[in-house]
Amino acid sequence: MNQASASPQLKKVLPIILATAIFMQMLDSTILNTSLPAIAKDLNESPLNMQNAIISYVLTLALLMPISGFLADKFGTKRIFFLSLVLFALGSLFCSLSENLTQLVVARVLQGVGGSLMTPVGRLTLIRTYPKNELVQAMNYAIVPALIGPVLGPLVGGYLVDYLSWHWIFLINIPIALIGIGMSLSYLPDYRSKILDFDLKGFLIFAAASFLLSISLELLGNSVNVTPILLALVLGFLMLYFYYRHAKKEENPIFPLNLFQVRTFRVGILGNLATRIGISSVPLLLPLMVQIAYGQSAVVSGWIVAPMALTAMFGKSVVIKILNRFGYRTTLMTNTFIIGLLICALAIPSPEVSIYWHLPIIFLLGFFNSIQFTSMNSISIADLRSYHTSSGNSLVSVNMQLAIGFGVAFGLIVLKLFEGDEKLIQNEIHQAFRYTFLVIGSLTILSGLVFRRLHFKDGENLKAQN
């Protein structure tokens, strides 16, 4: 099947199928956070040990995402996407049946195998189905769950644990996965590629780099002894250098270096990494501030963040008009600047005023985040040739995963630094949060300079035809 033969019905259904996968993966990445104490108590474990259940999932994603493009090219997008949903559903079932931490970690690894294939292969199918001028709109619909999942995760997790049991935070995935399986069997096209030379050495080097970077970033914000973690971080960057040396000599590397000769791809990758430092830390810091500084419950903190999902839905309805009018360069630079200002604005309300003064800022953040993610993801693949879509798409997925991890770790580190400075915060924990928002907001504003490297007409081929 090709773009010309894709039916109108397929074009309507395909973004929904990808949205199903993205929603499950993003929900599952955050829903566990509010549930760890309850799971630890039931499994007779220390809550501190429960981090293994999160880290095992993140590491599996980071290790296997680079191979997703090759597997889809060799065995077909339909088979691999179907397999990913089945593995994710089975992993969710086994998680709910776990009777100890070891069983839970193994089940989370199985979930991670499915998750590492789900989103990249689904996005690859979307890229190969739609012509460039329709791709932004399709990706726009599919990306909304990526905004909603992290916001609803803590809220849904809090309610399920309080009113049912922690097992339901995993069981909720199964009906969603079954819907995705049914739709993918009926509608998903089966794309393959004739170029199937797999770069095993390159994969192992890049997987080692992803492993080291992911585990160091995941632990950096939650550890007292940072020396071994910083060592792992340095080794991770060293492995990236070794991959660079390897890819220069390899005829068909898993991630060709000439991907980075495409300016829009290069800027999209770097912009994603830079701007997510601030954006990714907000869904973590806001609930923490609500519970720690304002003394509210986990459910209340979930409701405070939830409006971001509503305005994200509205943002997707106008992003195409904005991009068509102002172009990618102006939109991304301006939008990043606005997001940075809004993050800084979270520091304005004092502990003496109602917590609900944060709501207008949160509403606006959801709207502009929606524009940001759609614009960054679409410009990254705007000028890729057909033979680069698999490797380029996989690298975008890995980059996003690392960027989110780095953002969360960075937010926690800055918060702990301010929390330890008693003279600065004067024993007021709320002050530590305020200074943290100012720091990450300012860095987000500066990250918008990355998009200056775009040309005024970049993304013209993605514009929807009127």
> Contact at 8 Å (CB) between 382 and 459?
yes
Q: How far apart are CA 240 and CA 397, in angstroms?
A: 16
CA distances for 291 relative to 259, 297, 319, 327, angstroms:
44, 6, 33, 40
> Looking at residue 341, what is its pLDDT?
94
Span 289-310, pLDDT tens digits = 877 777 777 667 777 777 777 7
Q: What's residue 465's pLDDT?
A: 43
Higher pLDDT, 279 or 355: 279
With CA atoms as reference, report the closest residue to 378 among 255, 448, 254, 461: 461
Q: In whole angstroms, what is the distance from residue 42 CA to residue 62 CA?
A: 29
Q: Mean of the pLDDT values across residues 101-128?
A: 86
Question: If you average pLDDT over residues 159-182, what whole number do you get?
Answer: 82
b vs e for 301-317, b when ≥16 Cβ sit within 10 Å of the residue's Cβ?
A: bbbbbbbbbebbeebbe
62 vs 234, more confident: 234
Q: Tokens 């309610």 — which residue?
A: 159
Please, are residues 283 and 307 in contact by the beta-carbon 8 Å criterion?
A: no
Structural fold of domain 257-466: Growth Hormone; Chain: A; (1.20.1250)
Compute the distance between CA of residue 73 and CA of residue 386 in angstroms, rounded to an integer.
Answer: 12
pLDDT tier at 7, thresholds 50, 70, 90: low
Judged against a pLDDT cut of 90, whether residue 340 lies above it is answered with yes
Q: Minimal CA–CA distance to 457: which of 325, 265, 327, 334?
A: 327
**Predicted confidence band of residue 238 (pLDDT cuts 50, 70, 90):** very high
Residues of the chain above pLDDT 70, percent: 83
State residue 383's pLDDT score.
74
Domain boundaries, the chain: 1-197, 199-253, 257-466
Summary mean pLDDT of the chain:
79
Is the pLDDT assigned to residue 199 strictly greater than 70? yes
DSSP codes, 203-221: HHHHHHHHHHHHHHHHHHT
What is the dihedral angle through the alpha carbons of 53, 59, 60, 64, rounded to the nearest 10 degrees? 170
Closest CA to 270 of 285, 286, 284, 259: 259
Give yes or no on whether 1-197 and 257-466 have one common fold: yes
For 335-395, where are the E strands, in sequence order?
none
Q: Give, rounded to a whole angstrom, the gap between the first and last alpha carbons of the chain.
A: 26
Supply 344's token pair: 């800084």
How confident is the model over 243-301, as pLDDT tens digits?
Answer: 888 888 887 787 888 778 888 888 888 888 889 888 888 877 887 787 777 777 766 77
CATH class of 1-197: mainly alpha
pLDDT band at 427 (very low <50, low <70, confident <90, very high): low
Residues 6+ apart with CB under 8 A from 410: 221, 277, 281, 440
